[in-house]
Amino acid sequence: MEQDAKTAQLSPLISLFSANIAQYKSSQYDEANTRTDFIDKFFTLLDWDIANNQGFSESYREVVREDKVKIYGATKAPDYSFRIFPPMRILPCSATSIIMNRAIARFLPR
């Protein structure tokens, strides 16, 4: 997909977010909805096969949801595990709701 087409698809997401920001900041809007409404669509625009449209088996998917990853001996399950040349993981990624991001941001250095 060309850059202009991607920009055209991103603009409605930005408008939707801006129009409903109060709802997204509420505790009623959860992580699952954040993923469905924004995160999945954003990574799709970056050409990641979030929905496994290629029909690959689990071992060869570009993106695995709730993948099992060993970190310091403990098994973790990030919301997304992005892979190149599967099964080589390049980026485990955890999603949070907007309200959770605001809570976390208070503790980050500025």
Tens place of pLDDT for every residue, the chain, 110 residues? Answer: 687 888 888 889 989 988 998 898 888 888 899 999 999 999 999 999 999 999 999 889 999 998 888 888 999 888 898 888 767 777 778 887 766 555 544 544 44
Cα torsion through 102, 97, 58, 85, rounded to 10: -30
Identify whether 30 is part of a domain. Answer: yes
Classify residue 87: in a domain, yes or no.
Answer: yes
Q: Does residue 29 form part of some domain?
A: yes
The pTM (predicted TM-score) of the whole model is 0.77
Query: How would you classify the pairing of strands 80-84 and 63-65?
Result: antiparallel
Domain that holds residue 30: 3-105
Count of domains for the chain: 1
Q: Is residue 28 part of a domain?
A: yes
pLDDT at 71: 80
Q: Is residue 110 part of a domain?
A: no
Note whether residue 7 is domain-resident.
Answer: yes
pLDDT of the residue at 101: 57
